[in-house]
Structure 1
Amino acid sequence: MTVALMWEARALPGRGPDLLAWAQAQRLARPPLRRETLRAPQDRVLVITWWDAPYDADLPELPEPDAELVTRAVHRWRFESVAE
């Protein structure tokens, strides 16, 4: 089964490039099948990692950034792939 972990944060005004650099610099305890980092308006950063694991597996995740980078706590979601 493939599980996708989504991590999304919103930077303080003007700190979007700093949050993006911070997220890209974070290393996980083990590498995922795939990792993609995206950005959006309002200084939002999204990181998606894909894993070959059961839905409830203990998987490494990105931590919370320092409070001086973000406007709120990180949002996290976990999804499993489904057959088409």
Structure 2
Amino acid sequence: MTVALMWEARAVPGRGAELLAWAGQQVLPAPPLRRETFRAPQDRVLVITWWDAPYDDPDLPELATPPEELVSRPVHRWRFESVAAD
């Protein structure tokens, strides 16, 4: 089964580039099948990692929480399982 972990944070206004750089420097303890990083207006950063694992695997590595001074609110995290692929 393929599981996607989504991690989304919103930077303090004007610090989006720093948050993006911080997220890109984070090394996970195991390599995912795939990892993509996105940015969006309002200094938001999204990282999606794909894993070959059961949906409820408690050992899947999550991105850390960024330094408090970089984010304007708590990090949002979601977990999805793949049901179809093109």
Using structure 1 for the length normalisation, give the TM-score: 0.97
How many residues get paired?
Answer: 84
Residue of structure 2 in register with 1:66 after alignment = 67
Deviations 1:16-70 (A, max 9, x none): 0000000000000000000000000000000000000000112001010011000
Residue of structure 2 in register with 1:49 after alignment = 49
2-side partners of 1:66 and 1:72: how far apart?
11
Asked if 1:75 is matched to 2:76, the reply is yes
Moved more, 54-63 or 20-29: 54-63
1-side partners of 2:48 and 2:68: how far apart?
21
Query: Any runs of at least 4 consecutive aligned residues in structure 1 with deviations exceeding 6 A, and if so which?
Result: none
Give the AA of the match of 2:81.
Answer: E
Report the secondary structure of 1:54's partner residue.
coil
Residue of structure 2 in register with 1:39 after alignment = 39
Displacement of 1:83: 3.4
Structure 2 unpaired stretches of 5+ = none
Structure 1 unpaired stretches of 5+ = none
Matched-pair identity in %: 80
Residue of structure 2 in register with 1:28 after alignment = 28
Aligned CA-pair RMSD: 0.9
